[in-house]
Structure 1
């Protein structure tokens, strides 16, 4: 009988998953388009004046969920430099930070939306967070579906159920008794709220990610659930000084407050203008269909359990929102 031959594998073949620090809560104090900034400082002051009481409320709420511990809460702000660049960082960011300070708010972390699409990685590499998340989508086929629908990797569309069946030929329209069927939401409670989400568009071979999909990446980053070959994605870079005239000269995420609680958090809350409500509905659908690696999940579970801080099992349920009337 031959002895078994031992198997050897290099440890580099199994990349170590980087461990991250966690706040209890990450509060997003805004996500504005370039067009919003063009309206001037008064627009920014109104925004933060409206946001401040809600930030205080969610900060107080998370404190009630802890026993004998002070809540770790960090704030962040997302600037859209992906879909348009009507202004430069040196012109736009100082008034933004000043307006927040006038309202009694501190922006701990400032992020660029373009970083959710492409960002610098380790040792001069480039990471593509949106592509990484797209490859991790696991569609939930509705019960009784025929499988005729092409996969999301080909279509760029993701839904929370089954579309209205499409007749495959004009002759089929003449079939006696052909009946229209409505779309249906998977797991609907009584009645369906069907949603079909465009994740990207393409023109001349160039892919443009949708706002909803980039916002999904943003949530995964804030929740500390996204890695690139084991490494953290969009890790904050300390920033103290003047801002450049080129967005690409800025790191994807800046830590503006050296005393800030960790950027990543067990749960998130975003205080946003009401126009983002349909976008964030789409985000929840995407998060429900993303496969997250086991190790980041385990890290969050172990840390939160040690602090007796309850974290929902579902990724989408870890994100909450406020849509104030004044925004």
Structure 2
């Protein structure tokens, strides 16, 4: 079967397939291609370099705040590019910038984005791809965050008895065993002693994290910043699929001006026609140090997401073919630079 990168709704055809299981290894069987799962492949760079993920209060502070941010990002971005090109190879590195239009909407794309692009250019940086954080929740009618949540496979901590509801019901995901919930002791029974939480993969001492995935306000679910950032990382690693189709793929932006409304802007746009692919084998994010807690939570989430096996296989085969094999663990493909201040 030849991979076409289309959805599984394509018309069924039959193709001859050599069957190594026959006596002489040369037998032929016929198989309907529609029966084969089709997972769209995506172009991949070697590194996706995030130049910023700022909140609306950062933009509200004006051009000076952006100028300070990009000035601090520039030397680290240069170092990441140099590392990707180690050994004399020509590295394919794409840059991206994420705008928070999910929790708070400040200004308009027409007013805000030219300022972001201009300040990045002033620092000697080029933003290849620009993304809206709301696209990590819903993109093109696809409930992206909800589908990632459906792939959560919680790591059971030692001694778990199943009395606590799963994360898809509570909206909380931990990296270990929580402290037992206090309750009324049975008559004549002694009080249950307090027990500390415990990290599942602790190295002698625990660093226990309990991550809020979402909350609800007036009947509407709001995904948390760490959960949307986890979706963002999966998109940058080329591992998001919906019914076999790639999700959060960039749309070329050729218009002279940006729209007045955020919803009129595609979730991910390509600003640089000559850019390397949006998704990559590895990611690096240069962020203010205040994002440290968020990104720790991102890693807790990604450690418990069941990624599409074929998407994983595509990346593994292609990276190995380039002599740049990726680590098996998703979180080992992600790196950060956290700068002080900001």
TM-score tier after normalising by the smaller chain length: over 0.9
Q: Quick one: distance in 2 between partners of 1:175 and 1:284?
A: 41
Counterpart pick for 1:108 among 112, 128, 140: 128
Residue 176 of structure 1 is matched in structure 2 by 190
Runs (4+) of structure 1 moved beyond 4 Å?
Answer: 8-15
1:176 CA displacement = 2.4
Q: How high is the TM-score relative to the length of structure 1?
A: 0.92
Counterpart pick for 1:33 among 43, 55, 60: 55
Matched, 1:314 2:299: no
Q: How does 1:39-54 map to 2 (within 5 A)?
A: 39-54=61-76
Residue 231 of structure 1 is matched in structure 2 by 245
Q: Mean alpha-carbon deviation: is it higher for 170-179 or for 315-324? A: 170-179
1:291 CA displacement = 0.2
Residue 207 of structure 2 is matched in structure 1 by 193
1:326 CA displacement = 4.0
| 1:15–1:229 contact (8 Å) kept in structure 2 | no
Residue 123 of structure 1 is matched in structure 2 by none
Residue 104 of structure 2 is matched in structure 1 by 84
Q: Secondary structure at the match of 1:220?
A: helix
1:154 CA displacement = 0.7
Q: Quick one: distance in 1 between partners of 2:138 and 2:95?
A: 23
1:205 CA displacement = 2.0
Residue 168 of structure 2 is matched in structure 1 by 153
Q: Quick one: distance in 1 between partners of 2:72 and 2:338?
A: 10
Counterpart pick for 1:73 among 93, 96, 103: 93
Residue 277 of structure 2 is matched in structure 1 by 262
Residue 84 of structure 2 is matched in structure 1 by 62
1:310 CA displacement = 3.0
Unaligned segments of structure 1, at least 5 residues: 1-7, 121-125
For residues 68 and 102 of structure 1, do their structure 2 counterparts lie closer, same or farther at Cα, with a shift above 3 Å needed? closer
**Structure with more contact order per residue of length (Cα contacts < 8 Å, sep ≥ 6):** 1
Residue 286 of structure 1 is matched in structure 2 by 301
Unaligned segments of structure 2, at least 5 residues: 1-29
1:14 CA displacement = 4.7
* Residue-by-residue CA offset, 1:95-125 (whole Å, 9 max, x unaligned): 11000000000000000000000111xxxxx
Q: How high is the TM-score relative to the length of structure 2?
A: 0.88
Q: Quick one: distance in 2 between partners of 1:209 and 1:287?
A: 15
| 1:54–1:271 contact (8 Å) kept in structure 2 | yes
- State the superposition RMSD in angstroms: 1.7
Residue 245 of structure 1 is matched in structure 2 by 260
* Residue-by-residue CA offset, 1:234-268 (whole Å, 9 max, x unaligned): 11000122100000000000100000000000000
| 1:158–1:197 contact (8 Å) kept in structure 2 | yes
| 2:154–2:304 contact (8 Å) kept in structure 1 | yes
